[in-house]
Structure 1
Amino acid sequence: MLGTGRASFVPPEKTLNMTRSVMLMTTYECQLRCAYCRIRRGPRRMDEATARRSADLLMSSRAENLLLNFFGGEPLLAWDLVRRTALYARSRRGKKSLRVNLTTNGLLLDEEKLAFLKGFDSYVHLSLDGPREANAARLRGAGAGAQAAMEAALRRLEASGLQYHVNAVVDPSRAASFDSDLLALENLGARRIQFGYRVGVLWSPRALRELLASLDRYEARGRAELINRASDSEPVMLSREVIVDTDGALYWDGGIFLEEALPRVRKALRLGSLDDILEADAVDSEPRKPYERLLAAYPAGTKGGHIVLNNIKVGLALQRYWLERRRPTRPGDFHPVYGAEDPAVRRGVVEAGLPDQARFLNERMPWLDRAFLFIRGGCDLDCLFCRNKPQEGFQSIDEVDAFLAENSNLRRKRIALVGNEPTAHPRLPDIVRLCRRRGFTDVEVMTSGVRLAELARPLAEAGVKSYALAIHGSNPKVHDVVTRRPGSLDAALRGLEAARTAGARVFVHANACRANLSDLPALEALARVRGWPFSIHPLRPKDPEGMNVPYREAAPGYAELRRALTGRVKSLTGFPVCVAREIQGRASCPGEDVADSMKLYLLHQAFVKPEGCRGCPDHRRCVGTFEEHLRSRPAERKELRYS
């Protein structure tokens, strides 16, 4: 599939290092005969020349992060092709990052293949629907030992240290017991699960209700991470992912995955071929949406049209399910997920040790090659959007060293010290030296800058290479109003220059709020004159107790942003693509102008996308907006609708 995205997760905007993926339909052969699989099986295989041309198409993308996905059929039946194509792509990637993804039933996944995959940044999608009774429909003709072999593949994957998740498909007939199937997968050792529902068949209202009830029960009892909670892939019938077929033809993926159920979709969803699509990024300009093409092939009122609309309805119901489970139940309530942060990032990074951090970041944000140490303590400022916290509760040096010691096996080289105000820690230079002793050669520090004038030299000597520094206005009348601390801008500017004089790189960022909105063009101009890497970020909703001014009063609406900034800034990052494009055209803030600390800050936020965004060609690479923003400004839901 050729598309933009962060695996199954809401991806960062392209200004934060867009990811491009291409999937190869390696073969139509498979050992299994899954009842729900609507791919037309047969002896067709992709030849090496077509596979290399597909890899070249991927390499043509301007994206910095590339995903090469192998699919089938069963791609391990074409293992030599997979192996040679992966090696070829690696030889052609240049300075770009490359991840190899493999979807497999696991029957041929042996130690030799695992060892090869470990030589890459790789990710495995293991297809396993649950216990024998759940898997029975797909094991026809595979032999008595197939279930045991698939379970053994799961154990080998877990032991290998490779990144993976289990793919499980639910049929309408098993919707009522699907929670039991998910729990059984947990008992087999699955820690991360993504489920799909059978498409190309009708789901009755009762089956859909049973599926949602099963998910409710699993949410109450289950321990594994359900990837669907953070996915924006629904409805799958409207996917804009593109697959390269064995003959070099390109399709939106439904053209192949639905072929047996809806034969006319292959022609309807064909995009072209490797002969006429020469650049990977060109598919983004395709004007006709999958919805239009599907209903042209199967109009409403026909049997096929009934299936198409029914499956879209199932996808929308699941999309709403995850949204409603995290949305406040009463107007005015603050919800910790949509109000402030993504809980998966909190568990996987903020509260995690270095090994779990590395696993989470490699799986979800492979382009963010940095560890994070969260320095406890308070803050020197009392910003409009973030209430002051007392300076207390700092970690001891022994506690920090115990955390860093886990890097001995990971051998990571880059780390960021983040928190309310890391420079307030009385032994920060010693912490930086500990980072160096534990193998980190590149240390970044997040700061407001007010203490930096005195600390820049000792921190440089200890080993700090860069800073993420917040400046919210071009003059004290703006910045100091936002921070609610007189003199804070002068202190931050002295600290910034001291850090640069000491040899560190300083990344400057501002949060867009009503108090500084009209000054942001002047601040960006100041950054350009002084040579600061600069970016403008949205204001994140927080618990009302943590804000001095309520979010709806502090944050500007998108109409306000357009009036104040259109044609006057080029540094917006983390805003809806449609809004940013109206304001700054095709200009975008380069990823290298954003500190890694702030990239994590952006991805830690709980973005959502209104249903009206479905079908937008930028849907996959747009972060979206905040639920609190839409609740406080319901009219802007329409402004984000794609048309």
Structure 2
Amino acid sequence: MINVSRLMTGKAGRNDHIRYPSSRQPAPKVMVFNITRNCNLHCTHCYSGSGHSVFTNLPAVKWISALKAAADMGVEHLLISGGEPLMSRDAMDIIREASERGLKVTLSTNGTLLDAERISRLKGLVEYIGISIDGPEILHDKFRGVDGAFRRTLANARRCMAAGIRTGFRFTLTRMNSQYVDFALDLAEREHADRICFYHLGYVGRASADLDIDSGERLGAMMKIMERARESAFEILTADNSVDGILAYFLTGSQHVRSLLVRNGGNRSGERIADIDPDGNVYPDQFTRFRLGGIDDLGSIWEGPSQQVLELRDRRRIERCSRCPYFEMCNGNSRGRALASSGDLWGFDPSCYLDMVVKHFEEHMPPDAVSA
């Protein structure tokens, strides 16, 4: 993730030590557990292809064992996701075990199942709840495949905030909703959310390239987000497109921002983050279907490290990207989109909009403002 608020205002974020490490880390600090593929909704852009069928979850003991391995590896943050994680009868046990092991737990949810009892049980166990919003009510319900989803989601988000749990929104940019960026930002402000994160679409599950926006639309959306970050009291982040950070550098012209982005190192999937899917497969992140191993050998994947991890660290093999003057801030961007769109893990990420950024600033800014 890119903390846009930090880059645009200089205000420190809660997890800056992970985003801007002083040295290369041997294993991920963030782990995603997709504990179920079951879901009560059927979202157009679901990266796990969940909903409208019954999935047999892995036994809780598998996830508890993986928690121990993750903690032993030095993982600090655990993101519990799905499907809809609250559809799993083991969700609370897994969350409690993670919290007791000292992991900072984030719950990623559609929000519809966050009733008073669950909220009461979650308080004190989770550091943050991220709730998905796709736009105004009619559009959101269309995305989610269930009428009334928006109202339930928003009502439950308010309950979480009232209970004192850090709560915010997640918004995935698609061609169907990119024009509602301001709506999402206004909603976060009006509801006093702690943060909002804008996700670039990953081409996996039901989310395909034909749902994505083009470079011009992406730049327009991100310019709005960057400008709002200058003045917003809540935290604004983006995920899964390292060009966002480069855009922040262009907008600020700050060498400090540049140095932060170099320390961040761009996309570090499989290095700073890893994902376990509902079947127990270990991947670099939620959107990159390059298998690193299985849930039972989680610890050994980075202990060596494995050949797959070594491959992911060698991003200079991406020929087009390795020649880019901003490579050290980006690291080749999303390998998941490259793999999904071309079949080549080392192909070009079609969501890279750097050329559009450079063109925009060449046309609207003095030449020295766009120098590498």
When the two structures are superposed, what TM-score results if normalisation uses the length of structure 2?
Answer: 0.65
Highest Rg: 1 or 2? 1
Q: Give the whole-Å Cα distance in 1 for the aligned partners of 2:336 and 2:219.
A: 30
Q: Once the two structures are superposed, what CA deviation does each residue of 1:357-384 show, in whole Å capped at 9, x if it has no partner?
A: xxxxxxxxxxxxxxxxxxxxxxxxxxxx
Alignment RMSD, CA only? 4.3
The amino acid across from 1:26 in the alignment is I
Which one of 59, 65, 77 corresponds to residue 47 of structure 1? 59
Relative to structure 1, the CA distance from residue 172 to residue 20 in structure 2 (aligned partners, 3 Å threshold; closer, same or farther) is: same
Identify the residue that residue 130 of structure 2 maps to in structure 1: 125
Which one of 107, 113, 126 corresponds to residue 108 of structure 1? 113
**Is the contact made by 2:62 and 2:296 (CA closer than 8 Å) also made in structure 1?**
no
Identity, % of aligned positions: 21
Query: Can you give the 5+ residue segments of structure 2 that lack an aligned partner in the other structure?
Result: 1-13, 204-208, 239-243, 246-259, 319-333
Relative to structure 1, the CA distance from residue 299 to residue 216 in structure 2 (aligned partners, 3 Å threshold; closer, same or farther) is: closer
**Is the contact made by 2:32 and 2:81 (CA closer than 8 Å) also made in structure 1?**
yes
Q: Which structure ranks higher in relative contact order (CA pairs < 8 Å, sequence separation ≥ 6)? A: 2
Identify the residue that residue 242 of structure 1 maps to in structure 2: 274
Question: Is 1:313 aligned to 2:352, yes or no?
Answer: yes
Question: Is 1:37 aligned to 2:46, yes or no?
Answer: yes
The amino acid across from 1:53 in the alignment is S
SS in 1 for 2:46: coil
Identify the residue that residue 271 of structure 1 maps to in structure 2: 292
Once the two structures are TM-superposed, the CA of residue 15 in structure 1 deviates from its matched residue by: 10
SS in 2 for 1:30: coil
Which one of 300, 307, 310 corresponds to residue 287 of structure 1? 310
Question: Is 1:75 aligned to 2:85, yes or no?
Answer: yes
Once the two structures are TM-superposed, the CA of residue 137 in structure 1 deviates from its matched residue by: 3.7
Relative to structure 1, the CA distance from residue 150 to residue 296 in structure 2 (aligned partners, 3 Å threshold; closer, same or farther) is: closer
- What does 1:402-441 correspond to in 2, within 5 Å? none
Q: Once the two structures are superposed, what CA deviation does each residue of 1:334-373 show, in whole Å capped at 9, x if it has no partner?
A: xxxxxxxxxxxxxxxxxxxxxxxxxxxxxxxxxxxxxxxx
Identify the residue that residue 162 of structure 1 maps to in structure 2: 165
SS in 1 for 2:184: helix
When the two structures are superposed, what TM-score results if normalisation uses the length of structure 1?
Answer: 0.40
SS in 2 for 1:102: strand
**Is the contact made by 2:71 and 2:103 (CA closer than 8 Å) also made in structure 1?**
no
Question: Is 1:211 aligned to 2:224, yes or no?
Answer: no
Once the two structures are TM-superposed, the CA of residue 90 in structure 1 deviates from its matched residue by: 4.8
- What does 1:79-228 correspond to in 2, within 5 Å? 80-90=89-99, 93=101, 97-120=102-125, 122-140=127-145, 142=146, 144-200=147-203, 201=209, 202-215=212-225, 218-219=228-229, 223-228=233-238
Identify the residue that residue 22 of structure 1 maps to in structure 2: 31
Q: Give the whole-Å Cα distance in 2 for the aligned partners of 1:48 and 1:32.
A: 23
The amino acid across from 1:197 in the alignment is H
- What does 1:403-552 correspond to in 2, within 5 Å? none
Q: Give the whole-Å Cα distance in 1 for the aligned partners of 2:266 and 2:45.
A: 17
Relative to structure 1, the CA distance from residue 214 to residue 105 in structure 2 (aligned partners, 3 Å threshold; closer, same or farther) is: same
Identify the residue that residue 58 of structure 1 maps to in structure 2: 70
Q: Once the two structures are superposed, what CA deviation does each residue of 1:505-563 show, in whole Å capped at 9, x if it has no partner?
A: xxxxxxxxxxxxxxxxxxxxxxxxxxxxxxxxxxxxxxxxxxxxxxxxxxxxxxxxxxx
Once the two structures are TM-superposed, the CA of residue 187 in structure 1 deviates from its matched residue by: 2.5
Identify the residue that residue 374 of structure 1 maps to in structure 2: none
**Is the contact made by 1:100 and 1:121 (CA closer than 8 Å) also made in structure 2?**
yes
**Is the contact made by 1:52 and 1:85 (CA closer than 8 Å) also made in structure 2?**
yes
**Is the contact made by 2:99 and 2:126 (CA closer than 8 Å) also made in structure 1?**
no
